Amino acid sequence: MRARARAAAQRERRRSRWITLGVILAPVVIAAVYANFIAVPRYSADARFSVRSSSSPPAFPGAAGGLLTTGDSSGLAGGFVDGWAVSDFLNSRDCMQQVDRKIKLRQRLAHTGLDPAARLAPDATEDELYRAYKASVNVSYNMMEQVDVMKVSAFSPRDAAVISGALLEAAQEFVNRMDEKGVSDALKVSRQAVSLAENDARAARASLTRWRVQHGNMDPNADATMLLTLVGQIEGELNGAQINLDKIRAVGNPDHPMLRPAQTLVTTLEKRLADTRRRLSGAGNTEATQLREYEELRNAQTFADSALTAAQQSYQQAFTDTLRLQRYLSVIAKPLPGDRPSSPDTFVLLLEALAAGFVLALAVRFGCALGKEFRHG
């Protein structure tokens, strides 16, 4: 009786061992079948890049400078924004569509194997293509190093390299579009100021030219100088004539033959002096009036020319400053795919399956023990 019970117990233990062994090996067998007959080999290409600016980085030496220096040299937050923006773009549907138009992404990711995760028909819908794109492209931003890390997997090394190159090109175009808005906004106000100053300078020169043509006078300053010189000459001649007339009158002879010519000369010089002074600064369209109008026009032209020069210098400075705003993509590590597939990793997959088998076997034994206790209880 005891022998039969002992034999039954041994059979039960052998049966339990075989069941445990089967439970442990089942995931391993399934993983081996999947890795060798179902899974489609994938080849990876990793790239690292960052967004930089044309401006010089601030002088922060050491590690502190590395933390405070950013992709666009405008502060820590600005660098994070640039890095995250490029990462989000590369993970977006918009980027997928651009890459699809460039390299026919559907053909690069199309596969009709048994693996449902890799199956993609050449005529797949956009949603199916986007799911395959997300499964093949992974872009993340490393905040500490301030670089974008891009990992691309494809069914051949060439496809992985082509897709990675297209993504880098799309990222550079995206960075250029980021610059276009900032540069155009920075130059817009300066360009408008230059245009307004040019119009003002052109109008001032036209007004001065129109005045010269209307008055037939190229330079009232020269005419005024000439009239002042003439007034001085006439005053000198008039003083001499007055002295000569006084000498003749001092003789006391009203019939002196030189008395009337001397009087006539003084009267003529006095009239000529009055006319000259009236031309210079009298009422009406005199040289003083013309000189005032001319100087106002000349001052307006000088001011407009100065404003134009200042606006042009400001525009040049703004253009120089925008060069510092321009970003560019700095590739740290080029995407070079390996000759050996990166997935599936059969060894790691089998180890994981073995671990899962042990866990499952423990769960089965624990369940069986609980069942026996429940039946006996």
Query: Is 294 part of a structural domain of the chain?
Result: yes
pLDDT greater than 80 at residue 84: yes
Q: Are residues 206 and 310 in the same domain?
A: yes
58-68 confidence digits (pLDDT tens)? 433 443 343 33
C-alpha span between 51 and 173 (Å, rounded)? 12
Query: Is 4 part of a structural domain of the chain?
Result: yes
Stretch among 89-103, 132-146, 155-169, 342-356 having the lowest mean pLDDT: 342-356
Burial (0-12, 13-18, 19+ Cβ within 10 Å), 57: middle
Distances (CA, A) of 104 to 96, 101, 146, 239, 275: 10, 6, 31, 104, 93
Stretch among 108-122, 159-173, 247-261 having the lowest mean pLDDT: 108-122
Query: Is 146 part of a structural domain of the chain?
Result: no
Q: Give the CATH number of the domain where residue 222 resides.
A: 1.10.287
Give the H/E segment covering residue 352.
helix 346-376
C-alpha span between 303 and 308 (Å, rounded)? 9
106-143 confidence digits (pLDDT tens)? 888 776 454 554 556 667 788 888 888 888 899 998 88
* 333/367: higher pLDDT: 333
Contact 50, 328 (CB under 8 A): no
Stretch among 66-75, 233-242, 339-348 having the lowest mean pLDDT: 66-75
* Total domain count, the chain: 2
Structure confidence at residue 312 as a pLDDT band (50, 70, 90) = confident
196-208 confidence digits (pLDDT tens)? 888 888 888 888 7
Q: Are residues 252 and 353 in the same domain?
A: no
Rounded to 10°, the helix 93-103/126-136 angle is: 100
Q: Are residues 365 and 268 in the same domain?
A: no
What is the pTM assigned to this prediction?
Answer: 0.51
Exposure letters 299-312 (e unless 16+ CB within 10 A, then b): ebbeebeebbeebe
5-54 confidence digits (pLDDT tens)? 777 767 777 777 777 777 777 777 776 666 555 556 778 888 999 887 66
Q: Are residues 285 and 360 in the same domain?
A: no
Q: Are residues 308 and 248 in the same domain?
A: yes
pLDDT greater than 70 at residue 218: no
- What is the phi-psi region of residue 284: left when phi exceeds 0, alpha when psi lies from -120 to 50, beta otherwise? left
* 170/60: higher pLDDT: 170
Query: Is 70 part of a structural domain of the chain?
Result: no
Name the residue range of residue 7's domain: 1-39+344-376
Q: Are residues 319 and 361 in the same domain?
A: no
C-alpha span between 274 and 291 (Å, rounded)? 19
Structure tokens at 95: 């980027």
Per-residue pLDDT at 344: 58
Q: Count CB-CB contacts under 10 A for residue 159.
A: 22
Query: Is 310 part of a structural domain of the chain?
Result: yes
Q: Are residues 195 and 315 in the same domain?
A: yes
Q: Are residues 257 and 304 in the same domain?
A: yes
Q: Are residues 264 and 301 in the same domain?
A: yes
Q: Are residues 194 and 319 in the same domain?
A: yes
Q: Are residues 360 and 274 in the same domain?
A: no
Q: Are residues 210 and 308 in the same domain?
A: yes
